[in-house]
Amino acid sequence: MRIAFLTAHEGVEQIELTDPWEAAKHAGHEPRLIATRPGTVRAFHHLDKADTFPVDQTVSDASADDYDALVLPGGLANPDALRMDGKAVAFVRSFFDAGKPVAAICHAPWTLVEADVVRGRTLTSWPSLRTDIRNAGGHWVDEQVQVCQAAPSTLITSRKPGDLKAFCAAFTAEFAHSSGVAAGR
């Protein structure tokens, strides 16, 4: 299964990129880094600069048709930048339109709110997004991980870096299930 990891060019929370990336690889998936600009993305440890990671493809050149699932890592600056990028928002929305699973952690649901895909869904996030999610028609819960299987696609969300173990277990299980369903198993 090819999994798109979408980030802005700067501001992704490093552990929210690297832990899910490694979980996806360990589960036999092929993660690909999609970003708003070519070159590298700059990760952060909270507000401090961290490592850089090579971009596999820009969101301008990417299509949900080329991927089986989407992961949206958080960080404060990352989803704020993504929600201001029309191509990134359209890319996210296209996964929901295609019925493909999406996983988002921490502040990443800001991009989901902008893509107008939370209405009628139950999800979790960093607590400060609670009102944004409710105002967008979603039902916010304070849980370590939330799996919402509302049609047309499954949405897996988590609150924070401390929830990464549960988040990774949930999205890899759901992605494996979706892969089996897509293959007719």
- Supply the residues annotated as catalytic: 106-107
E strand residue ranges, the chain: 2-7, 10-13, 30-35, 40-45, 48-54, 57-58, 69-72, 102-105, 122-123, 139-140, 145-148, 155-158
* Cα 72 to Cα 113: distance, rounded to the nearest angstrom: 13
Q: Do residues 64 and 32 lie in contact, with contact meaning Cβ atoms separated by under 8 Å? A: no
**Among 109, 43, 44, CA closest to 71:** 109
Rg (Cα) of the chain, in Å, rounded? 14
Cβ contact 174:158 at 8 Å: no
Q: Kindly report the CA angle at 28 between 166 and 36, in degrees rounded to 5?
A: 75
CA dist 99 and 143 (Å) reads 24
